[in-house]
Amino acid sequence: MSIRAPMATFEWKDKVCQADYSIKWNPPTPESIMLNTDATFRSGTEHGTIAEIFKDCTGAWLLGFINQVSVSDPLEVEIHALLFGLSIALEYTFLTLEM
């Protein structure tokens, strides 16, 4: 089973932009939890943002977090996102993860 969204639409100021791609999500197996991580880095600063979302096999949202981190480059912020997501998974005993 996969969940698809036909288009992504973004609004910014007075303009609307449509992306020409589909968004596809493959759910984890019934005994697993899906961990999705994302990270952004603002070039020229030491600021990054990390986000984690945990979902079950039905696509139901279980947990989600957004945090600011001090980092020096894009790779470091991606590593922070992964490590933070794994530490939250351990804290909530989500021991069977898919990514």
Domain-by-domain residue ranges, the chain? 28-98
| Residues 54, 62: Cα–Cα separation, whole Å | 5
* pLDDT, one tens digit for every residue, the chain (99 residues): 444 444 444 455 555 556 566 667 788 999 999 999 999 998 888 899 999 999 999 989 999 999 999 999 999 999 999 999 999 999 999 999 998
Place of tokens 């480059």: 73
Q: What is the CA radius of gyration of the chain?
A: 16
Which residue shows structure tokens 């696509």?
59
The 10s digit of each residue's pLDDT in 19-46 is 566 667 788 999 999 999 999 998 888 8
Fold assignment, 28-98 = Nucleotidyltransferase; domain 5 (3.30.420)
Q: What predicted TM-score, i.e. pTM, was given to this entire model?
A: 0.72
Spatial neighbors of 25 by CB under 8 A, at least 6 apart, are 2, 3, 4, 59
